[in-house]
Structure 1
Amino acid sequence: MPERGTGDSMFLKSLAALAVGIAVGFSAPVMAQESFKVGVTTTGVPFTFVDTTTQQPTGAMVDLAKAIATEVGLKPTFELTAFSALVPSLSTHKIDVISAGMLATDERRKVVDFSEPVYTYGDAMFVAADAKDVTLDDLKGQVVGAQVGTTFADSLKALNIFSEVKLYESIADIMRDVKLGRIKAGFGDQPIIAYQIAKNPGLGVRLVKGYKPLKEGQVALAIAKDNPALLTKVNAAILKLKASGELDKIFAAYGL
């Protein structure tokens, strides 16, 4: 066999470089698809919040998103978003999925798709720590607070018994005004309220004993309606995590 000359070597090197260039060209979009943006809030303890030590998003729904990502081979990045901006951010593709303490409601289903449910809970009422327990009837004509964009706010307004259902960006803001006596009572996600009060006795508020939730719902991840492929992958991962018991472990780690 004749030896390859210099010209042959240069030709082979050119082919190798071309092959690498083609491989990179084809691999770039695939790598982009391996990442997906997860919308979370900083005010949904213990579902989603920021760890003050690491300054990183954490919580049950953050851990769940990480577990789902592992199952489907995606790399999650977490986008801190106000609760009221989560759905708009998903609809405009600023994020790919919402993983927060969000209830899957018929109204929200009009604009987003929801995954298999992962948790169930209702609302809670809280008052100032030194206040007496009250009922909804006791609050007729009074100002109460709820978080903007929540189903609880809509349910309270529908009762048509309060002088005002004041809307707040965060539960922490509602707690502050309840403690200071600016409003008579606040309403919010039961597990979030219970967790925050248990961890921070100095908040100056407490849960009302015997209160029956106006509404209970199921927490699920939200995905844009034009992304059915991702929804299928997420659902498959959730069912696998349920079957293995990992889903229960994730929520139990946060007292849920």
Structure 2
Amino acid sequence: MNAQAVLGYLVGLVDRPLETFRNIAPHARRAWVVPALLMVLILGVHSVLTREAQADLQQRVTEYVLTHSRFASQLSPAEREQLLEQQRQARGGLFDPASPMGFALQLSLSTLGTLVGWLIWGGVLYGLALLLGGEDLTFAPFFNVAAWSWLPLGVGLLVQAAYVAWSGTMPIYEGLSFLVASGEPIADLFNPLHTFLTKLTVWQLWSWWLLINGTAAVSGFSRRKAAGMVLPVWFLFAALQVAPTVISSRLQGF
């Protein structure tokens, strides 16, 4: 694919996604490289612009746990203060997003996670299409649908990075999570419903629309049937992603 074709596909994702995915399908073996390169660039920019804010938020969360959790209540004031001081001194360590190693690790994990996400989504949609009667189907077009449909989420990351660069802080209430705001932002991070509603953004709606159109384009199904495949899978995956918040909140006694 040349640059003009790539630009046409990117524009087509906005105004004619069904036709665009039909045009991408013949290039299934290599078309995923374009969104892969774009996502690596986006993740790199996001990591650079947000690493300090992420490190600050991580410290605030740790301090909240050390002062409000069930286990914190068993500590003496001296022990609690000692742990808080150790946590502050840990800034710049391997897992601190603000450190060079932490930045590299975060970028690597984010990139790997994105690729794994494409594989999972592509595999699930491919399998469902076969079960629902699709014929002469291969995995590669569905993998490409997942890859290109991820780009709206990348746009969302750029918007978030711009906000962080302007405000200096990570946004807590994204999507519809403001509906369950309690006035205690850090406490809300341990609310499973807050975690779920954070995912319901305009970028996610756009990604759904692309997944539906892409699935319809490469499977030959109607958009309604494609939506019946995409949306239940997304809600299942979203529930699985919320599970760690449920476990953490129960363990911490929040």
| TM-score above 0.5, yes or no | no
| Length-normalised TM-score, structure 1 | 0.29
Kindly indicate which of the two structures has a greater share of residues assigned to strand. 1
Kindly indicate which of the two structures has a greater share of residues assigned to helix. 2
Bigger radius of gyration: 1
